[in-house]
Structure formats: structure tokens, C-alpha cells
Amino acid sequence: MSYTQKEIIDLVRPTKVHRKVYTDPEVFDLEMERLWAKTWIYIGHESQVQDKGSYITLNYGKVPVVMVRDTDMEVHVLHNRCGHKGVKLVDKACGKIPAFRCCYHGWRYRLDGKLLGVPYMESYEDTAFNKEDPQYSMQKLRSDSVRGFVFATMNADAPDLRTWMGGAADVMENLCDRAPDGEVEAAGGVLRYEHECNWKMFIENLNDMMHPMVVHRSVVECARDYIKTLPPDSPRLDEAEILLPFGASYEVMNDSITGFKYGHHYDGGKTSIHADYTLDPEYAAAMKSAYGEARMNEILSFNTHNTLYYPSLTIKSAIQNIRVVRPIAYNKTIIETWSFRLKGAPDSMLKKTLLYSRLINSNGSMVGPDDLTAYFRAQQGLESEASDWIEMHRHFGKDEVLTDRVIGKGTSDLDVRTQYTAWREYMTVAA
């Protein structure tokens, strides 16, 4: 790697960042090594591996891993790699197995990754090969979960998951508290959307509250135009409730952004683009009977927009939808959209979550493709050397710095500054 420590430090200034953080493949490789491998990465939700032997596969950065439910019901995250010749052991998105068995030479592993058997062991007689040597087992990643959301890290020295999340954990708690039974489960599948842009462009857009009224103006205007053609006493439209707030003014978007150590942040709190959704009466009744009215109101009035668990997970507690960032190359990223069912809530709640995911995040939606157009044009535009710097001045110097968090206006660049503070720290530690 040709970047010196100083050159990495110099890529990020308090109010600007160098274009190479998006355009240089070498920076991407360093990010995978120093940032992604060193922090907690979202793997999946425990509800995706409900039975013994159930597994899901994914890439942690560039590394293939598998999340699996063991016979004692513990969940492990393992390197998806045979200890023999490195062959991926399972290659479906999800499945169920009694044990891992390699398709090449038939090596078998327990669900916790321990090597069980090697065919024709006689052939290793009088050699130094020792089946019990842990290097021949599937390697386990350090993993932990919050309310069923499983994260893993390749860094033995990373802080524990809760400490790492800090105050941003409140939103994950809130997402789950919105279930009358206090639990959520992944439901309704996933959409995988290829983005021709650097992974950071996607997460930097999440709490960029200056873009919706520009990027999403067309769909908001078209929805308004259509509604005008309907008779005045027409029933309320879920589609309108979801789409119209994307056209909210700068003033409405200005509630607040709260940033945390390690790059996490959320937008809103008192209000958000989700704040005016009609409360389903059947859901309200279930919540009231589960929590009592005061606690129910407390849960439902914590209104955030997007919450980022830097760098891999972004959640929307108010609509129970999450997006997961899977970087492929400096200019290619896969964004997964998952929806969650609130246990104990009527089916109408999941239906609305799926409507949201489809209307806003689907490859066929009228919102996501306009965001993506801005990202890939930025990816292309930043090849220009007209200027090396991307500014992030907005409300700089006006953030309120508390012991565990930084709070600024909703239209602040605080979210991006928070990310790059963390980025620089990860990228320069023990290089």
C-alpha cells in the first residue's frame, strides 16, 4: 500500500474530504482491511436462522461468512471456507443442514465449525497433519446481538457491541419496542439492489436532509397532481402518506441530527418524515394492552428518520425497514432492503412496511433510482480533478457537544463529519 499514515490523515479535514476516498481502489482495499475488518458489521437477524442447522450466507466486506443456528440453539458466525482447500462450504443464500460438508473432498464440520471428519484418514498416516489442529476447523468470528440483530467483527479488541452502539442503540430498542410482544422478525424477503457507487455515498445520503425536496420533487409533485384528480371525500391513501413527506421543506427537515462515537447517527427524534402516519387502531389497541397508554405514547413518539450503525446497517424504526450495505468495489455496492414484522401486531403493519420498502427502496420504485442517479453521477463527476475536495461545512461550529453525543440541526453536515471522524480513526490505527 502506498498511502502513508500522514497521507491518510490528510484525506479528511474538519469541513472537507478528499475525492480519493470515493475514487481510489487502493483506499477501498484499505477500508476493508482497517475499517470493515476492525468494526462491528451487521450479519443478519436471528429470526432468519430459527431452526437447528438453518443458515444464511453473506459477505463480510470481501470475506464469505455464514450465520448458523447450532444444535444448542446458539448462533455462530463462521468463515464460509473449508479448512482443507478453502472451498466455500455453503453457497445458497439460505438453507438448512445437519452439518457442513465440503463439495470437493467431503470434509465435514459441526455447526459450530469444528472439523468432524476427513475421508480416508489413513492417507495422512505418518504425516504432521493433525485433524484436531484448530487451523483445519471453520474459523469463528466474534459475534454478539442486540434484540436479535446479529453483528460480527474480526477484531478481538473491538469494544463490546452495546458500548460500540452507544446512544444509537436507543433506536434499535425502539424498533423492537414497537412490537406489542417486544420482538421483531425478518419477514417478506429481501431486495438486492446494485449501486454503481462507493458505499459511503449511500450512507452519507441517509441523513442528508437537504436532498429529498430536490431529488424526490418529481414523485411528490406527481402524487399531488394525481390526488387533485380524486373526489375530495376520497379515502386516505397509504401511498400518499408515505410519498408526500419526501417533499417536506428545509424547515420541517430541521429537527435534529444526533451523532455518536464510531460514526453512528440518527436524524429526528421529536419528528421525522414518518411522524404523521395514521395509527392503525387495531395496532394501537395491541400496544396499549401490552404497554399501557403512557409507555405506548413514549414508544410511538420517538420519531427518527434513518439511523446509521456505521458502516453497514441503517434502520428505520418507525416503519420497520432496514437497509444493509455490502461493498463490492470502490465504485460498486449492493444495498439490501429487509422488512420486519412486529410480533403481536396485526398483519396490516407488515403490509405497510412492505409497501414502504417497495415504494421507496425497490429497484422498480420512484424514489431509490433518483437517489442512485445522484450517487453514480457523483462517482463519475469526482473523477474530475477540478477540485480535490468535497465540502461538509453546513452548521459547522454550531453543534452541541455532550459527553456521549453531538447534536445539531437536521440540515447539518454533522452526520458526515461524524462518519469521517470515525473513518480517520479506524484508518490510521495500527496500520
Partner 1 sequence: MGVVAISANKQEEIERFLYLEASYLDRPDLDNWIDLYTDEGTYWMPAIPDQKDPDNHISLFYDDRVIMEVRRRNFVHSAAASKDYDVRASHIISNIQVTDMDEETGDCTVTSNFHCWLYYNDKQTPYAGRYTHELISDGLSYKIQSKRVDIINCDATLNTIIIYI
Kindly list the residues in this chain that would bind partner 1 in the complex (CB under 8 A).
93, 187-194, 196, 215, 217-219, 221-223, 225-226, 229, 237, 239, 243, 334, 337, 339, 347, 350-351, 354, 357-359, 362-364, 366, 368-370, 372-374, 377
Which of 352, 338, 394, 383 is closest to 211 using CA atoms? 394
Nearer to partner 1, 14 or 364 (CB): 364
Pairing of strands 184-195, 257-259: unpaired
Nearer to partner 1, 94 or 146 (CB): 94
Backbone region of residue 106 per phi and psi (left: phi > 0; alpha: psi in -120 to 50; beta: other values): left
Nearer to partner 1, 59 or 145 (CB): 59
Instruction: Provide the minimum distance between the beta carbon of 141 and partner 1 in the complex, in angstroms, as a whole number.
Output: 23
Instruction: Provide the minimum distance between the beta carbon of 369 and partner 1 in the complex, in angstroms, as a whole number.
Output: 4
Distance CA 152, CA 150 (A): 7
Distance CA 32, CA 327 (A): 9
Instruction: Provide the minimum distance between the beta carbon of 236 and partner 1 in the complex, in angstroms, as a whole number.
Output: 11
Distance CA 93, CA 190 (A): 11
Nearer to partner 1, 34 or 195 (CB): 195
Nearer to partner 1, 10 or 221 (CB): 221
Instruction: Provide the minimum distance between the beta carbon of 400 and partner 1 in the complex, in angstroms, as a whole number.
Output: 35
Burial (0-12, 13-18, 19+ Cβ within 10 Å), 286: buried
Q: Where are the beta strands (DSSP E) in 171-320?
A: 184-195, 257-259, 265-269, 303-309, 313-316
Nearer to partner 1, 232 or 397 (CB): 232
Instruction: Provide the minimum distance between the beta carbon of 296 and partner 1 in the complex, in angstroms, as a whole number.
Output: 26
**Helix, strand, or coil (residue 196):** coil
Instruction: Provide the minimum distance between the beta carbon of 219 and partner 1 in the complex, in angstroms, as a whole number.
Output: 5
